[in-house]
Structure 1
């Protein structure tokens, strides 16, 4: 009995080896498949509705995930400060803001890679200057909103830029700049009355960026001509590089 039992083991083991190898191969392919399949997928995009990146506690906020997915697929993944939100599987993610809701939000659909982060700031204050971004491209519009806690009636509103009054409204809450230019960079805030009490919002730093691709290329060509001429005319001449001052953001 021992002999036959001993001889049967190699036979059984021999028959199992091919299937075990196939199992290991398929397991490896399954682990590799997600990485290969998502490598070249487009990024999802997160947007805010309304578009304000800063809100007051208890404000209604809706985040929306944009990206391709198959019909009927609701397997949207949401992330807050790097942690998954397992209860959220829809494209729209709505909530009344709490202080703990501040932070970065990302999303991903079944046919997209992880989105870039969108930062939401939640504040506890009576008055807040809201903006859709802290960085705008030159030529694009800027919309600012002087917002009161719980949307309490707000009157006699003044918008300020670098401590200089820009515009006074008796009741209008929004202030727009149709075409931003570099001079619009700086610190913005607003003041207003809730009842008979005057309030001032915290400052918001806004930066205007310009796309100088063509101008930079022209300047580079012109600079190269000047340097070439200088080198030909003065073999012992020296060249100095001057770096433009960096814009310091105060957030």
Structure 2
């Protein structure tokens, strides 16, 4: 068993060495909003290194391979089932980190460029309407209180986020004569000095899974050693002694 574990470790080490020499691909949204409405158009761009022999790109949606090999993946008239995690890789680039895209149904949607923010980060919010219909008298609200008002629709920008900017946000405005509101979206501001704050959520999940895997391997080794010891004890037999009588005992 130890030989198997050693072989596995050597293979993983060699594979890690090869992977370490490659650049990680990056998925970029265009436009950069991570939340869109149905019938919006979205382009996902894969930035990576290509080889002269292979300029194709592999795309994955929720870990399933997409039959599309161009560096740009265009989603025309998005639907809810286009929501999910997108990743890509090229011949000379390793698999990218996942980028999450959510597609919603409604008249208004509060859009943002990221799923998490740290103190000091800029935050861009946009009150987006279905099919880009004109929206007037737009109000951005935080925790139910008015935060910013625009007579004509405009983005709301927070230059440097603080913990006071955390909360539930939504927007409302007039589309024609109808007063419409978006669904709420919670924005959490993390502390950049926290060891885990610099990691996206999927890295934290990966870290936890790795710890769990190491614990499982350690547990397996422990019980394997225990079984080996018990087997050794079971196979051990007390030596049998044959006592002979002394002459005087005969």
On whether the aligned pair clears a TM of 0.5, the verdict is yes
Q: Secondary structure at the match of 1:39?
A: helix
Aligned to 1:237: none
For residue 131 of structure 1, the aligned residue among 101, 112, 116 is 112
Normalised by the length of structure 1, the TM-score is 0.68
CA distance 1:176–1:71, change in 2 (3 Å): farther
Note the C-alpha offset of 1:71. 4.6
Aligned to 1:92: 72
CA distance 1:213–1:80, change in 2 (3 Å): closer
Note the C-alpha offset of 1:35. 4.7
Note the C-alpha offset of 1:211. 1.6
Aligned to 1:194: 175
Q: Secondary structure at the match of 1:115?
A: coil
Q: Deviations for 1:93-131, whole angstroms, at most 9, x for unmatched residues?
A: 111211110111000011111111111111110100001
Structure 1 unmatched ranges of 5 or more: 1-31, 215-251
Aligned to 2:45: 64
CA distance in 1, matches of 2:127, 2:62: 27
- The number of equivalent residue pairs is 182
CA distance 1:213–1:37, change in 2 (3 Å): closer
For residue 150 of structure 1, the aligned residue among 131, 134, 142 is 131
4+ residue stretches of structure 1 with deviation over 2 A?
A: 34-39, 70-74
Q: Deviations for 1:136-157, whole angstroms, at most 9, x for unmatched residues?
A: 1211110000000000111110
For residue 209 of structure 1, the aligned residue among 155, 179, 190 is 190
Aligned to 2:156: 175
CA distance in 1, matches of 2:96, 2:159: 29
Structure 2 unmatched ranges of 5 or more: 1-11, 196-250
RMSD between superposed Cα atoms in Å: 2.2
